[in-house]
Amino acid sequence: MLLIYIIPGLLVFNWLRKRLAVAQIYLWTSFFAGAFFTGWLASIFNDLAAQGFKTLISNQTFVEQWEAALTGPVIEEILKIICVFLLIYLFNVSRIQVVFVIGIMVGFGFQVIEDISYVVLTASTNIQEIIPDTFNRLSGALASHWAYTGIIAVGLFSLISKHPIITKKVAWTWTLSPVLLHFIWNSPINDIQLANDIAPVSAILTALTCLLIIQVFLTLQASMND
């Protein structure tokens, strides 16, 4: 069922790659690097951080509620961006459009592996919950790791390279805002619901993430014509 978003996602990202004149090798190399380099490392470090919080903080209810928000946005984003810059170094990348595609695909590879691991874990503990859990993963796929990493990669690369098209203020916004969005998404704040099970926070977070990714794409596309 996860193929419902994986296949369309790959098609959209391939279209985006063509629009930004980026070679296909970056697409697949980054996807597999994100899946098999960052995916498993994040699982290990998230578990270690969770154990650390449980040891340091006596209020276990607080830890259970905020654990995902305190670990994921920091550990996962750091590991993914390290992977991005390793690929930038290995391929000697200088074009910011390539950086964007690498960031998106590292994040997407991570996202696919994370979703598969969650579904497999659910299936091993309670097979009846596998369908609801899969739909839950699908609902968050539109604006998730692929967007976070793509935005951060461009922002951080712009700061380091002092890109002439992207101002320092915009670069910092792109670098930090995905971490904040990820934090809120993983926090109990995202569990707030209105009448009829309407979840306003997740809708707002998705909209903001989509607006940011569109802003990055349009900026990079426009810079190709300058």
The pLDDT tens digits of the residues spanning 136-193 come to 777 778 889 999 999 999 999 999 999 888 999 999 999 999 999 999 999 999 988 8
Tell me how many degrees the CA angle 150-50-135 measures, rounded to the nearest 5. 55
The pLDDT tens digits of the residues spanning 82-115 come to 999 999 999 999 999 999 999 999 999 999 999 8
Q: How many helices and strands (H and E) does the chain possess?
A: 9, 0
CA dist 182 and 184 (Å) reads 6
The pLDDT tens digits of the residues spanning 19-34 come to 999 999 999 999 999 9
In the three-class reduction of DSSP (H, G, I as helix; E, B as strand; rest coil), residue 59 is classed as: coil
* CB within 8 Å of 161: residues ≥ 6 apart: 96
* CB within 8 Å of 106: residues ≥ 6 apart: 30, 31, 33, 34, 38, 80, 83, 84, 87, 149, 153
Tell me how many degrees the CA angle 114-119-124 measures, rounded to the nearest 5. 125
